[in-house]
Structure 1
């Protein structure tokens, strides 16, 4: 078992080092592109006074941002995520005025100047940190090849070759060269991921969002979520109005008409009046049931009375498929957040029943570290995609209103895993159990 674990750890270390070396090649390419784009941007900016730069700068800047975006992506793959720092582009007019407006928005964005500083420094930093892993790997392989006997071919060609501080002219020296190459190889395995991670931290220092950009991004997010809230509320109001008009209101009108007819028949035809009264009583029961369903659609009584855990268990019990629920939420959430999670999980479970062909699902609900996390897993056919339907998009918008997220993993053949996370606090302790 120890040998197997050691082999597995060695394999993982080699895989990480090779992956980091591949990213190092990309860093070398980014350094070359940084130099070319830095020169192009400086020239375009300098030519603004001549009018040519007004046309060149909006063309060069997207290329610069594409390269810096590549560096952000590489940093994210190294475990250092970097948010996009650019301010939202303002609307522009057509023609020359529009080009001038685009130039002004580019030059007044602090991220533009931070990008230029990054390009300047990345010419050296990206080249060195990208080249080192490649150099260490090539140098270690070179030493192993020479030590394996290639040094004899070099000697026969009349070439004296040194590896490190060792002349490759005899087999003892070749063995020493092999040991040196193994040391270099070990250094490569250990250092390559760290070198690439070092570039990631360097990139985060310059390519991350400034305070102004963070505020602008936050305001944009709040504006979008506020719009979503308004749309959701308008949709809900229209649904309630439609349900009342087509359901309970129509039944109440019918009840009134039956009662009126019964009143007219009460003296002359009591049997008919009795039948009408029975029909009115049955219609009253139906209207009450529709009103209860409507209330459950607005805010379910089980949610208000027993809390989120028991409300989710109630959904699971009513589901036509088997649903296992594990929950650990030792308190109550704020009513809006509680309602959002309830309806989101209800919609997810409905999607499982309608579209996944699953016969079993599970819901894990718990509150940890100031966030509510719900995981819904089914054994269905998979293939769910939030971009192809309005249901999952609606859940995403509902979660985003509370700064929450919905992560979906649904490969073809299943299983589908939906993870809902919502930052929220607990207020009152749980007082009942379903």
Structure 2
């Protein structure tokens, strides 16, 4: 197949895929209209009969439908729609046993929790944007989806005209409303099918943009989410820094400090032994020298754990290559970095890769791993893949959560793929700008 034919076949497959997704969205129009009617009915029952529990229940159903709409926009229309909901506040209890609902106090925990949930849903702007989407999407979003589908369906009817009974003018539906003699009917049908398929992709993308316009976060909610995210990042960074300081203190106290104290005691015992027992004094000095050597090695290991010298001197790629030599499995490192990132970014990626390789050995029983480093579109990308048993889950251990916390400090992301049986792939991306090799600190 030649290149033009290959491109035409790929374009046809893309159009058919988009048309199929539009057909599914078209079939869901009645369900969306029914949901809109039920949602309005729940408001009427709440306002007229005081059936308050219907509002949280209906809102929950609508949020589920809106979540499906966001998923379709992101995966089908390639228009990502972030979740805009404000976090649900926690129920707080005072020292006197009362529960705060955000408006007043209640003694009963269940009633206070329901009042807090009701107030949260009512005050969340995303609740009302979901409501507007439920009411308006069937005619607007449904119209965007149904347009190409109707064109293709009407066109197929025209293509079938030669094998169908010829309807008289004004008889029946379809092309009977526009009688065309001879082959003009199939020709028009072919044009309509081609036009519907050509419009399928743009219509699907426009449908996704329409969904994002109503279901996406507003500027206010984006700022609120950003503030919350930065607060969590600050807490995680503070906790990580405190944990790192405790680790350094523990290693110094249990390692180098203890050995240096032993050296001091041994050297203090050498003085009276020099004249009385030179052989034993020599042995004590030898033992002290071994302790000093071990203490120096522990200090080197400690410094390497804080910021490896090879990372500071030669950059991220060489630092990870040196790291790979110390890992008890075969590691292949492929790096294409035209420059160097800032030192904190390099350190974060280095230790994240180190943690990933440690997990591959410790929990994945891997025998081979690959590390790929690259930079494109303002993102520093590091991918770690291993042939272990898979099944890695951030909720199941602190290692992956630690990597997420490291990257989150720099607005980085971690994407994990680890099916049971393997392989495991971790993709880490951090926004950063690389310095020129000529102006690099290395």
Aligned to 1:85: 84
Between 358-367 and 76-85, the greater mean CA deviation after superposition: 358-367
CA distance in 1, matches of 2:418, 2:118: 43
Aligned to 2:106: none
- Is structure 2 residue 398 aligned with structure 1 residue 370? no
CA distance in 2, matches of 1:322, 1:97: 56
* Contact in 1 for aligned 2:390/2:420 (Cα 8 Å): yes
CA distance in 2, matches of 1:112, 1:380: 44
Between 402-411 and 254-263, the greater mean CA deviation after superposition: 254-263
1:86-121, CA deviations, whole angstroms, 9 ceiling, x for partnerless residues?
222223443444434333332322222222322232
Offset, 1:395 = 0.7
* Contact in 2 for aligned 1:365/1:374 (Cα 8 Å): yes
* Contact in 1 for aligned 2:22/2:149 (Cα 8 Å): no
CA distance in 2, matches of 1:352, 1:106: 43
CA distance in 1, matches of 2:70, 2:7: 34
1:20-59, CA deviations, whole angstroms, 9 ceiling, x for partnerless residues?
3223323553243233223423553x35xx7x25433222
Over 3 Å counting, the alpha-carbon distance change for 1:423 and 1:167 in structure 2 is closer
| SS of corresponding position for 1:266 | helix
CA distance in 2, matches of 1:394, 1:112: 34
**TM-score normalised by structure 2 residue count:** 0.84
CA distance in 2, matches of 1:32, 1:194: 27
- Coordinate RMSD, CA, aligned: 3.0
The structure carrying a bigger helix percent of its residues is 1
* Contact in 1 for aligned 2:22/2:146 (Cα 8 Å): no
Question: 98, 110, 114: which one pairs with 2:129?
Answer: 114
* Contact in 1 for aligned 2:367/2:388 (Cα 8 Å): yes
Offset, 1:162 = 5.7
| SS of corresponding position for 1:114 | helix
CA distance in 2, matches of 1:104, 1:226: 28
Superposition pairs of residues 283-322 of structure 1, within 5 angstroms = 283-319=291-327, 320-322=329-331
CA distance in 1, matches of 2:330, 2:161: 66
- Is structure 2 residue 190 aligned with structure 1 residue 182? yes
Aligned to 2:271: 263
Offset, 1:248 = 1.6
1:391-422, CA deviations, whole angstroms, 9 ceiling, x for partnerless residues?
22211121112110011233456554322111
Aligned to 1:151: 165
Offset, 1:165 = 4.9
| SS of corresponding position for 1:164 | helix
Superposition pairs of residues 67-216 of structure 1, within 5 angstroms = 67-77=65-75, 78-92=77-91, 93=99, 94-145=109-160, 147=162, 149-151=163-165, 161=172, 163-165=174-176, 173=182, 175-216=183-224
* Contact in 2 for aligned 1:31/1:126 (Cα 8 Å): no
Offset, 1:167 = 8.1
Runs of 4+ in 1 over 6 A off after TM superposition: 166-169
* Contact in 1 for aligned 2:410/2:431 (Cα 8 Å): yes
**TM-score normalised by structure 1 residue count:** 0.85
Over 3 Å counting, the alpha-carbon distance change for 1:421 and 1:27 in structure 2 is farther
